[in-house]
Amino acid sequence: MAKYGSFPGARPRRLRTSPVMRRMVAETRLHPADFILPAFVREGVGEPVPIGAMPGVVQHTRDSLKKAAVEAAEAGVSGIMLFGVPEDTKKDALGTAGTDPDGILQVALRDVRAEVGDDLLVMADLCLDEFTDHGHCGVLDDQGRVDNDATLERYAEMAQVQADAGAHVVGPSGMMDGQIGVIRDALDQIGREDVAILAYTAKYSSAFFGPFREAVGSSLRGDRQTYQQDPANWRESLRELALDLEEGADMVMVKPAGPYLDVLARVADAVDVPVAAYQVSGEYAMIEAAAEKGWIDRDRAILEALTGIKRAGARTILTYWATEVARTLG
């Protein structure tokens, strides 16, 4: 082909010529402080219990959870989000184990806070689904529907108990109308203005939550489509966002992350508070399963997925690979 002057004049490939060049001009960078580690602690077990659908993830004992928290802190991870898994015999219609000061989640919060102090943000999932015998995120009425306002009363009590147990941050994940305002008031009433709220602002009714049900020993009957968001919609996420901010959310979240990068980008563009995204169990499981079969490069796929989430606007990412990736980046 004949050359005309310096054709082609624009050569973007010059900025891709070497690893050091690509690193210098990278528009998005991952850092250990970007990550929060979700972790499960199970009552009444003597050894960590592997989660079949999530290779490499376990239901922790109290001791192994403390070790995992220390490892996360040493790797530079910012926080650990705790989910409690009570014994089946302690589940009931109201999820009372979730507000018992001696329930597994509160015990674990105290354990971890005593172990890491303020070196790691200790966060608590604020929801009833792990503790109810029906597996829903709230209290049911006499027709079997989730009663929004009765559930808010339970959330208020749960927030206070979690704060007393040492949580720096509470993460209301039930998608009840008005939950942020009620929780903020409940915390302020006991003088805990210091406890932050990470609002699960846009939480979709997603098939990608499947492995999580095993992780928390879910007793769910039916589905959560009457309170979690419809995957077809994004505008209602902005309405939920406005309400959460008005009610006092300190940070907001989109969940799942990967299938909802468009929603994440819109939320990030709309706010001046920190935005988080939760790379959920199904996203984790797909990469691990494909890598196990040799179909993809596991490590590259993990970093690519996390980079995409950050590029879309997440300042913070909840991921089961938090400690592993933080060590790699370190």
Domain count, the chain: 1
Residue 301: inside a domain: yes
Residue 119: inside a domain: yes
Residue 182: inside a domain: yes
pTM for the structure as a whole: 0.93
Residue 252: inside a domain: yes
CATH label of the domain that carries residue 200: 3.20.20.70
Binding site residues, as ranges?
213, 224, 240, 281, 320
Residue 177: inside a domain: yes
Catalytic residues: 203, 255
Binding site residues for Mg(2+), as ranges?
240
Residue 110: inside a domain: yes
Nearest by Cα to 76 from 39, 113, 31, 112: 31
How distant, in Å, are the alpha carbons of 133, 180, 238 from that of 252?
29, 11, 11
Amino acid at the residue 313: G
* 163 CB-contact burial (10 Å; exposed 0-12 / middle 13-18 / buried 19+): buried
* SS3 track for the chain: CCCCCCCCCCCHHHHHCCHHHHHHHCCCCCCHHHEEEEEEEECCCCCCEECCCCCCCEEECHHHHHHHHHHHHHHCCCEEEEEEECCHHHCECCCHHHCCCCCHHHHHHHHHHHHHCCCCEEEEEECCCCCECCCCCCCECCCCCECHHHHHHHHHHHHHHHHHHCCCEEEECCCCCCHHHHHHHHHHHCCCCCCEEEEEEEEECCHHHHHHHHHCCCCCCCCCCCCCECCCCCHHHHHHHHHHHHHCCCEEEEECCHHHHHHHHHHHHHCCCCEEEECCHHHHHHHHHHHHCCCCCHHHHHHHHHHHHHHCCCCEEECCCHHHHHHHHC
Binding site residues for 5-aminolevulinate, as ranges?
213, 224, 281, 320
Residue 139: inside a domain: yes
Instruction: For residues 125 and 39, give the distance between their C-alpha atoms in angstroms, rounded to a whole number.
Output: 10
Strand partners, 42: 85
Residue 287: inside a domain: yes
Residue 49 has a CB neighbour count (10 Å cut-off) of 17
Q: Specify the pLDDT at position 164.
A: 98
Print pLDDT tens along the chain (330 aa): 556 666 778 899 999 999 999 999 999 999 999 999 999 999 999 999 999 999 999 999 999 999 999 999 999 999 999 999 999 889 999 999 999 999 999 999 999 999 999 999 999 999 999 899 888 888 999 988 999 999 999 999 999 999 999 999 999 999 999 999 999 999 999 999 999 999 999 999 998 887 877 777 676 666 777 888 899 999 999 999 999 999 999 999 999 999 999 999 999 999 999 999 999 999 999 999 999 999 999 999 999 999 999 999 999 999 999 999 999 998
Domain residues for the domain of 220 are 29-329
Instruction: For residues 199 and 275, give the distance between their C-alpha atoms in angstroms, rounded to a whole number.
Output: 10
